[in-house]
Every structure is written in C-alpha cells, then in structure tokens.
Structure 1
Amino acid sequence: MGYIHVYTGNGKGKTTAAFGLALRAACADKKVFIGQFIKGMDYSELRVPEFIKNIEIEQFGRNCFIFNKPTQEDIDAAKKGLKRIEEVLKNKKYDLVILDEVNVAIYYKLFSVEDVLEVLNKRDENVEIILTGRYAPKKFIEIADLVTEMKEIKHYYKKGVKARKGIEF
C-alpha cells in the first residue's frame, strides 16, 4: 500500500526531505518521478538523474514568480505539469511520485485542490506520494497518512546570506 506524505511549513527542508526519501527509494531499486511545480530555474538537484538512473525529474514552472503575480503562462505550465503527473500515475511505472511545491501552486491558484485530488485518485494504490510546499491545504492534511511541518526557528537568510549553490539551490 502506498501512502500520502505532506511536507509543509515555513521552515527550510521540505524539498530536501522529499529528495532524501527519493534517494532511499532509488537505492531500494524503486522507480521515482519528481515533478517540480513553480520551479523552472537551474537547481542542482536536476543533476540527480545523471547519478541515479531510476530517478526522473521534470520541472513544470517557467521561473520563480513568487515575488510577482503569476502570469497566464505560469498557470498553463502548472496545468500542463499536473496533466503530466496524471500520465505518470496512470502508467504504473513509478513506486514514488513527488509533487514538489504543489501546495504553493495551489496557494497561487495555478490550479485547485480538487484538480490535484482528482489526479491523485487515479493513482495505483501502491504508489507512494509526496506533496511538498508551504501552505498545505487543509484537505491534503486530512487525506494524508503522514504530515510533517517544517518550522523555521532560525535562518541565516535573515542575516543577509544569499542562496548558495548545492545548499539552497
């Protein structure tokens, strides 16, 4: 039986935790698909498939618009990504599917909670799912089998430290 995990909260580490589980699954000969919503920039983790063949990653964002209003192109990219997730869940090729930053995509109204639930309901019952991002919708928390909230206590960003390659991106 596959379970649904939610990694949320305002602290650092949601995507990192998801990638940690992806690594563990891949090392156990499981196939992993990671779909990154919002993100369209060159993050270091995009190189993972060069090193671990049973992890696939696709980005469904154009750029990081978080400080601006999403454009129609951002919405279209996210919806196209959700359609891709639906295909991935239907093909029964993967043991673990990660919807990275899906909660943020919903928060910015790129698609709805109901849209995601409809896609998740089409999954094979053995597929493990991880939903990441701040602002996890209440409905995701209700349906999830595991919920972890990352809480920021202290962050060097507040001291002016910029995102560092290999650590934050």
Structure 2
Amino acid sequence: MDKGQIQIYTGNGKGKTTAALGLSLRAVCAGKKVYFGQFIKGMEYSELKAANYLPNFEIHQFGRNCFIFNDPAKEDILAAGKGLKTVGDVLKNKSYDIVVLDELNVAIYYKLFSTEEVIRILEERAENIEVIITGRYAPQELIDMADLVTEMKEIKHYYRKGIQARKGIES
C-alpha cells in the first residue's frame, strides 16, 4: 500500500469489532501484518486466540477485567494511556500494514485520553499504515480526519429479549 487510509466503524449497532476482525483476516490472508489493539477491553474474548491460528496477527488489550459503564477508575485511565503510547509507537515503526484501534472511540468518550492525543499519533504514523478505528461515539474531529466512516445502526437486537453475549458470536 502506498498510502494507508483511516477507517472508522462507529454507531450503536452490532458489528464494529467484528468488521475490523474480518478486515484483519482478509489482510493476513493477503500476506499483510496486523496489529489489533483493544482499548477498554480486558475480558476474555474468543478473538484473543486468533494469533494462535493466524500468522502475522498480533492482538493486545489495554483494559481491565471489566467494562466501563460509569466513571472510569484511575486504573482504567492508566491502562488506556499505556495502550495509547504503545499504539503510537506501533504506528511509527512500520512493522505492520494494518493497525486496528478497537473501542478507541469509547475510550475517548470516557475521557481516558483526548481526541487531540489520538489525532497527534495518527498524524505521526508511518504513511503506509492503514488504520481502523472502532467504537460508538466517534468524535467529529476523527470523522473529519477519516477517509472512510461506516455507521452501524441497530434496527433490532436479540439483546433486548434478554439474550446475553454468546461465546464465538459476541465474545
């Protein structure tokens, strides 16, 4: 790739992380290297095993063993800040073709770091790296900077019937 683009998958519908994982699979199968950084998430998700099956796929979590529903704890802020520094370094070092910043928008929403900090690391990235950003609440500044923005819209979801996350489908 000559010039990497910035893609955002946002909105209240299901499928943002799933779309990023699908793109990652396609990229790895095309011989590309993928770095998948998950913000806020620290729980056990099935995709954490992907590196065992996919060459050139690396995944790291920058969250605790819970999800933020109210005010973030100091530990949430520290974990996210460490993650942002890590992905900033990854974006500069040209070792990967694709870098996914999963739930980055939610981390910004909860003020774990600022939109300005994210824009800075995106502007400093190696030119050839494709960046995928996921999560609800994409800030307008990132939408304006992006080359592609897809909004997932919930029409109907079985969660509303009380069906919880299922292993291999949502977790």
Normalised by the size of structure 2, how large is the TM-score?
Answer: 0.97
1:80 to 79, 82, 85: 82
3-state secondary structure, aligned to 2:118: helix
Report what 1:7 is aligned to.
9
For residue 121 of structure 2, the aligned residue among 119, 123, 142 is 119
> What percentage of aligned pairs have identical amino acids?
69
Match of 2:71 in 1: 69
Q: Name the count of aligned residue pairs.
A: 169
Task: Give the 5 Å matches for 1:81-160.
Answer: 81-160=83-162
Structure-2 separation of matches of 1:111 and 1:166: 30
**Partner amino acid, structure 2, of 1:126:** N
Partner SS state of residue 129, structure 1:
strand
- Name the SS for the 1:11 alignment partner: coil
Question: How far is 1:66 from its partner?
Answer: 2.5
CA deviation after TM superposition for structure 1 residue 94, in Å: 0.2
Residue-by-residue CA offset, 1:44-98 (whole Å, 9 max, x unaligned): 0000000002100000001333223210110000000000001111211000000
Q: Distance in 2 between matches of 1:146 and 1:94?
A: 20
Structure 2 unmatched runs, 5+: none
Aligned-residue CA RMSD (Å): 0.7
For residue 52 of structure 1, what is the aligned residue in structure 2? 54
Moved over 4 A (4+): none
d(CA) in 2 for partners of 1:41 and 1:139?
Answer: 29
With 76-85 and 115-124 compared, the bigger mean Cα shift is at: 115-124
What is the SS of the residue equivalent to 2:36?
A: strand
Instruction: Name the SS of the counterpart of 2:49 in structure 1.
Output: helix
Q: Which residue identity does 1:70 align to in structure 2?
A: P
Deviation at 1:122, TM superposition (A): 1.2
What does residue 36 of structure 1 align with?
A: 38
